[in-house]
């Protein structure tokens, strides 16, 4: 049986505000969704060109708007 947590009637699953995290440590406050509004300027470097010529990882590229974009 699956049920959606938002509709649960079991108290134990009700979302409490400031829950104390004992089992999970969150590493970053990333939110890719936010970058939809503030990103897309296209001024950043093209990916294949930083160190390699045979593979492509975009996650390690620098954002030209660093610090100004909210993500």
Partner 1 sequence: MVHKFDTLGVKCALDVCSGTVHILDDISYRMLDFFDEEGNFDQMGAKEAGLDDEKSMEAVEELIALKEKNQLFTKDIYRALVSHKEKKSVIKALCLHIAHDCNLRCRYCFAHGGEYMGKREIMSPEVGKKAIDFVIKESGARRNIEIDYFGGEPLMNFETVKEITEYAKAEGEKHGKNFRFTITTNGILLDDKKMEYINENMGNIVLSIDGRKEVHDKVRVRVDGSGSYDSIVNKFIKVARSRNQENYYVRGTFTRDNLDFAEDVMHLADLGFEQISVEPVVAQESEDYALRKEDLPRIFEEYDRLAEKILEARKNGKWFNFFHYMIDLHESPCAYKMLSGCGAGHEYAAVTPSGDIYPCHQFVNDPKYKMGDVFEGVVDKDIRDVFVKSNIYTKEPCGDCWARFYCSGGCAANAISMNKDINKPYLLACEMEKKRVECAIAIKAREALDEE
* Binding site residues, partner 1, CB under 8 A: 1-5, 10, 12-13, 15-16, 19, 21-33, 35-36, 38-40, 42-64, 66-67, 69, 71
Report the partner that residue 9 touches, choosing among ligand SF4, partner 1, none (CB closer than 5 to 8 A by kind). none
Please report which helix (H) or strand (E) contains residue 38, including its range: helix 35-38
> If you count them, how many residues does the chain have?
71
> Which region among 13-21, 30-38, 48-56, 59-67 touches ligand SF4 (by CB under 6 A)?
48-56
64 Cβ contact partners less than 8 Å away, ≥ 6 residues apart? 41, 43, 44
Report the distance separating Cα 37 and Cα 67, nearest Å.
15
User: Pick from 30, 36, 41, 48: which binds ligand SF4 (CB under 6 A)?
Assistant: 48
């Amino acid at each position: 049986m699956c049920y959606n947590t938002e509709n649960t009637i079991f108290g134990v699953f009700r979302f409490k505000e400031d829950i104390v995290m004992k089992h999970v440590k969150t590493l970053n406050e990333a939110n890719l969704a936010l970058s939809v509004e503030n990103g897309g300027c296209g001024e950043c470097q093209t990916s294949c060109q930083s160190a390699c010529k045979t593979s492509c990882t975009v996650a390690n590229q620098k954002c030209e708007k660093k610090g100004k974009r909210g993500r």
